[in-house]
Chains A and B, each alone.
Chain A
Amino acid sequence: MDARPEAIRWAGATRATRRDGPLTARAERAAVRGALRGDAAALDVLFGAHWPAAYRAAWLIVRDQHAAEDIAQEGFVAAIRALERFDRSRPFGPWLRTIVARRAIDAARARALRREVDGSAVLDHVAAVADRGAPADDLLAAIAALPDEQRVVVVLRHLLELTPAEIAGVVGVPRGTVNSRLRRGLDALSREVRR
């Protein structure tokens, strides 16, 4: 699989195959340096490593496909535009994830205020998918069904891998509250998945 639009790939041996998933710190630093130089292949590496989690987290927080796409897309583009301000002594992933998390939470709050979506459509969709039996879909359904405050911290902690202190900063609640919401959310998830 190739992340590039329309699945473009070049013949020849010089272009490394992009893989999704975690990067080593060294590979990530190299990719950031390459992106700073304008190297699209380096951007591809960063994109493959971080965009999927960003989109999934945004989806799970706002539970709306289009809003999630906007949030992940804008977060990634904002990160690219601000790349020269990025402190390269620190890992890129958490920086990007924090950008996306903040945007997703802001969007979720704004949507809640406007009462745009109640998540029921998404829950119906997830339930339909889960009926087809894939374990991952059960988990997805269970997360999507969590109350907002628990779902957000579970996603930030276990999908975006933010620390409780970082989550507290992003969500704007004390760290103890983060931990208690996390505990309740994981307990609820555990019950749902074992059913």
Chain B
Amino acid sequence: MSAPPSPLTRLRVPGEEDARRRAWALARAALAERPATVAPRRARGRAAAVMAGALLAALVVAFGLTAPGRATADWVRAHLPEVAGRDAPRPAPVVTRAAPLPGGGRLLAVNEQGLFAFGLPGGAPRELLGRVDAAAWSPHGRFAAAVRGIELIAVDLRGRRRWSLAAAHAIRWPAWSPSGFRVAYVTGTIGTGGRTIHVVAGDGTGDHVLAASGPTPPVWQPGVAPAERLATVDSAGRVALRDADSGRVLWRARLGAAPLQLAWTAGGRRLLALERRRVVVLDAASGARLGRTPTQTRTTNIAFATRPGHHGYAVIRRTLAPAAAARSRVAVVRTDAAGRRVLDTSSVLFAGGPIRAVAWSPRGDWLAADVAGVDGWDLVHLRGRGVDRARTLAAGRGARLSGWCCGG
């Protein structure tokens, strides 16, 4: 019975695809901004009120404008609330709620408006600070360390500054130690006399230089409390494990090139070094090379994150072919318990443009991916080697994924 579609529906007009991409980002943001609503149901009370009204009308018609009729109508009108069960038909309630964060825990977003936390009690994203450059969670997610230019700021979940310090040069890569008693950051540039790693106590005191820094963010070793150890890359591109208080080097390891990123396996027994074409596995005790993945020929690595509660990690890879330079994917790599051998790899997310960061939920079942150009993140739930659920989380214009932590 439906008419055939008009030929006009097949027209393509200039600029459509670009406009579509931009419009989709805005539409998704608009959806995220509006409160989720439960579709209103027709209330029984409303139906009863309608029936009572009909009864009143019928009685008016039946009795006309006679005195007994008016009296009866007045009685019905007076008793309408009893008949209807309420004073008057009320509008159906619209239930407002914020969608819970899948995977639990708390997500930290740095967007153009400021620093926001997702997954806090109440559900709604909470602004912790105005515009910042970078941020990281404290180990239990009670504080965030944020960077604004040359300033390092510790802020609590109510947005109160607990302490701050200023460096001589721009700060980057804030990282809170697993114990919560130390915060590391890097400041300076090669042009300003060198990049240095600083460590400050968790209350903002005792700021000191730990070592020169290479081009890679330092990462705290978990599972060694009360010791505080930091894996770093020095200016010569060597990986080193240092005591964060004394600065003593526990070991050094030279890889083929300075790694892009370091990450500890759960428990801190292995250190993974992400290189452009492979991942190298180092022993936490000695720095010995335990294994490495095969050299990739078609993709280059961008960033990775080890998976809590599992053996493996998620890695962002970008294709090398010039025609598809911007294509990226997130691969989930499963390894053996020692971390030496890759058991399998499955790609779980693809994007035409760059993917900037990934983060695991505290249980390691959900993975968040920060795709450039999208004002939010893609969250996928992994089951076996594939994705069985996917969500998007609008995190504001230009949002950068800055950490997913800990729950509670």
Main secondary structure of the interface of B (DSSP, over half): mixed
Q: Do A47 and B24 form a contact, CB below 8 Å, given A6-B352, A10-B378, A55-B19? A: yes
Give the one of B23, B26, B37, B39 with max A CB within 10 A. B23
- Please state if B21 and A73 are interface contacts (CB–CB under 8 Å): no
Q: Are B27 and A76 in contact (CB under 8 A)?
A: yes
Number of chain B residues close to chain A: CB under 8 A? 55
B83 within 8 A of A: no
Alpha-carbon separation in the docked complex, A159 to B387 (Å):
38
**Chain A residues with a Cβ closer than 8 Å to the other chain, count:** 54
| Min CB gap A157→B, angstroms | 8
Structural contact, B24 and A65, CB atoms closer than 8 A: no
Q: Which chain A residue lies CB-closest to B14?
A: A65
Q: Which among A40, A84, A159 is the interface contact of B6 at CB below 8 angstroms?
A: A159
Contact with B along A49-91 (1 / 0, CB 8 A): 0011101100110000100110011001100110110001000
> Which A residues touch B380, using CB under 8 A?
10, 12
Min CB distance A25 to B, Å, is 11
For the complex, is B25 an interface residue (Cβ under 8 Å from A)?
Answer: yes
A24-42 vs B, Cβ < 8 Å mask (1 yes, 0 no)? 0000000001011110110
- Taken together as a complex, chains A and B put the C-alpha atoms of A52 and B9 apart, in Å, by 9
| A69 touching B19 in the complex, CB below 8 Å, given contacts A8-B374, A10-B348, A38-B99 | yes
CA distance A60 to B6 in the complex (A): 15
Q: Does B10 contact A (CB under 8 A)?
A: yes
B1-44: which residues lie under 8 A (CB-CB) from chain A? Answer: 5-16, 19-28, 30-34, 36-39
Contact with A38, one of B12, B36, B39 (Cβ below 8 angstroms) = B36
Interface residues of A in 92-136 (CB under 8 A from B): 125, 129, 136
User: Which of A35, A38, A55 lies in contact with B20, CB distance below 8 A?
Assistant: A55
**Contact assessment for B349 and A8 in the assembled complex, using a CB-CB cutoff below 8 Å:** yes
**If the complex has contacts A38-B99, A43-B31, are A10 and B349 also in contact, measured as CB distance less than 8 A?**
yes
Whether A11 touches B23, Cβ cut-off 8 Å, given contacts A65-B14, A88-B39, is no
Q: Flag whether B194 is at the interface (Cβ < 8 A).
A: no
Contacts of A37 on B, CB cut-off 8 Å? 36-38
Known: A11-B350, A59-B13, A143-B11. 4 other contacts (CB 8 A): A7-B352, A38-B31, A40-B28, A59-B14
Which A residues contact B (CB, under 8 angstroms)?
3-15, 22, 33, 35-38, 40-41, 43-44, 47, 51-53, 55-56, 59-60, 65, 68-69, 72-73, 76-77, 80-81, 83-84, 88, 125, 129, 136, 139-140, 143, 154-155, 158-159, 161
